[in-house]
Each structure stands twice: as C-alpha cells, then as structure tokens.
Amino acid sequence: MFDPSEIHAAVGRSAYTLPELKGRAAVKLKDVCIMQHFLPVGANDEIEYASDIRTLVDKIAKSSTAKSAPPIPVLPEILLLSDLLTRKKTAGSAEIAKSIAVGLDAESVELSLLGADADKVLILGGAQTGKTTLLKAIIEQVVASSDEAELLIADSLSADLYDFAQNDRVTYMAQAADAEGVIERLKAIAEERKALFAKEGANLRPRDFYAGLTPVALVVDDVDLFIANCGGGFAQGFEQALEEALMCGMRLYATSLSSKLRGTDNVSKMFKAAQYGIVKGVPSEQMVFSAIRAPHTFKPQIDRAFFVTPREVRFIMTPVI
C-alpha cells in the first residue's frame, strides 16, 4: 500500500514518506521507520523465483539432520478402490485388515472403517449418488477377506451386481422367485453356526466365537424391492431367518433411496434399526439417521458421504470403482 492514510492507519504516522519501490515497507518499532525486504534468491521473474525457492528448500531439507516433520494430510482428487485398499493393507494392523474400509475421513484423511461390531449397515441416498458403487467396494472386500467367505446378494432391477453372481461363493437373487432359496440359505447358515458353537464354543461368548468364523454377508441393493420380493406367505419366515443369521455373526449391507424405506412392517423396521449408516447426497431427504447436521454451505458430491456410527457422525470421501 502506498496511500498515506492507509499507512497511518496500519502503523501510525512517520517522518518518512514510503517510496514506491519494490521491497520497501513501513515498520513500527520504537518509531515508524522504512525498511527494505530482501529475497532469499535472485530471479528475473516469478517463475524463476518459484523454481529457485524450491531448489533452496530442497537443499536445506537434505542438509538437515533433524527428524522430518510429518506431511500435512490432504485428500486425493479421486479415491480409487485400489488406492483405498492399498492404504488399508499398509496400515499394518490385524484389526484394520479384518475391517471394511468405506472411505477416508475428510478432516484427518484416516481410514473410515466398519469393524466387527457393524453387523447392520444401511447406505442411503438419492438416485445416482454412488450407493451401489460403495456397495461394490464392500463386496470386493468381503470376497477378498477369505477364500471361503460367503455372500448372499439381492440385486436391484438394474442388476448392477450381476457380475458377482458368477462367483461360486455367491447366492444371487434377482427376482421374487429366488427369495425362498435365499431364506433357506439363511436358515442353513444359522443352523450350521449354532451347531458349530455347541461343539467348539465352550467357555466363549457366542459373539466372540462367531466373529472368528468365515465371513458371511447378506448384501441388498434396494431394500424396498427386496422386501416386496420377500412379501406374501414367507415374509415372517424371512424376518426370523435373517435375525437368527445376524445373531450368528452374519453381516448385513443394504442400500435404499432416501425417499423410500418408509414401511412399518417388521422387516423394514429391522433394516431401519441399523446403527451404522452411510448417507450420500442430501442428508435431510432421509429420516433414519437424525443425528446428521450438514452445514449451510454443504453441496452434495458423488464421492462424499456422512458416515454414521453409534458414537459420532463423520464426513468422508468414498471410493470410486
């Protein structure tokens, strides 16, 4: 600034006039004086200056024997599933290895994980907000967690999960005609695990015993369609089979449009009772996770979501396939 009134307001009155020369400045010590800035490197233009500054910083860093400061965490422009899984693998923790990574925390850039206690997870959002993409990321991790991991998949009308149907460890459901087979498999899973606990689970809590067994998960893309397909005479049988399978360590991952899942039947209530959730798009459009408080400046993005746990709500970056 060279306007006298601005200079007087900033540092006070001076007996000297600030000349219009680069690097000259008024500084307030005991009195207001004129000083000259010096550059750490000489340069003919801004580009050369930036390059020389970078060279000087690198030279100082190489000469320093002190411990390097930790880098400032920054979110990537795009989070690929492969990158997320690499971060999970290099974390070097057995507990993290058993968890499901759903993204990176927007503030700390640390992994956002679904641990062993996340038995029911509900993914909500509007159309084309990335719900199924996130569901695919979860499926990939369940399949990779063990050579014997088992999945029961109830697909949506768009059949976005059909590629997983070719896997021998997947029971795939695309229409109402397949529902009975899924329910029978749920019953079988519960019976097999209860029998195994009776045989080998002495002196162990059921929850701890089942947590050590081969991973099993029910994945539902579009809860309302799934409930409709499981309607009629065996809806009650499904509720009981699902509840028993969950008690025996099976995990449930499901998606729904924010504007749906308004049913009052017992199966709908079971899904809405999930304590873990991932909300994409506009959070006020859904009515399941009321703890979310989006800031006024919030703008939905396809790779952003609110991650809800019984303890807190975090804003996260989610992967793309």
Please report the pLDDT score of residue 310 as a whole number.
94
Non-local (6+) Cβ contacts of 84 within 8 A are 101, 103, 104, 111, 137, 319
Based on the domain organization, do 38 and 168 belong to the same domain?
no
For residue 206, tell me if it sits in a domain.
yes
Q: Is residue 11 part of a domain?
A: yes
Same domain, 247 and 173: yes
Looking at the structure, do residues 55 and 142 belong to the same domain, yes or no? no
Q: What is the pLDDT of residue 182?
A: 86
Kindly state the tokens that stand for 70. 């930790």
Query: Do the Cβ atoms of 321 and 157 come closer than 8 Å?
Result: no
Which segments within 62-168 are labelled E, that is strand? 100-105, 111-114, 120-125, 150-154
CA distance 143 to 145: 6
For residues 190 and 221, state if they share a domain.
yes
In a domain, 73, yes or no: no
Positive or negative: CA dihedral 130, 135, 136, 141: positive
Do 12 and 103 lie in a common domain?
Answer: no
Same domain assignment for residues 233 and 313: yes
Residues 147 and 275 grouped into a single domain? yes
- CATH of residue 268's domain is 3.40.50.300
- Domain's final residue, options 35, 63, 91: 63
Do 93 and 205 sit in the same domain of this protein? yes
Backbone angles phi, psi at 269, to 5 degrees: -60, -35
Same domain, 92 and 239: yes
pLDDT along the chain (321 residues), means of 10: 70 76 79 81 84 89 83 91 92 87 95 92 94 94 91 94 92 87 90 94 90 92 88 67 90 93 84 94 92 89 95 94 77
Distances (CA, A) of 297 to 105, 107, 234, 279, 294: 18, 16, 46, 17, 8
Residue 259 located in a structural domain: yes
Assess if residue 69 is contained within a domain: no
Kindly state whether residues 295 and 174 are assigned to the same domain: yes
d(CA 118, CA 318): 18
Q: What total of structural domains would you count in the chain?
A: 2
Identify the pLDDT of residue 303: 94
Do the domain assignments include residue 71? no
Q: Convert 39-53 into a string of H (helix), E (strand) and C (coil).
A: CCCCCCCHHHHHHHH
**38 and 151 assigned to the same domain:** no
Tell me, yes or no, whether 35 and 95 share the same domain.
Answer: no
In a domain, 68, yes or no: no
Residue in the block written with tokens 């006024």:
296
C-alpha span between 287 and 263 (Å, rounded): 12
- What is the rounded CA–CA span in Å between residue 98 and residue 85? 12
pTM assigned to the model: 0.79
The C-alpha atoms of residue 235 and residue 242 are separated, in whole angstroms, by: 11
Q: Is residue 74 part of a domain?
A: no
The pLDDT assigned to 276 comes to 96
pLDDT score, position 44: 82
- Domain encompassing residue 55: 4-63
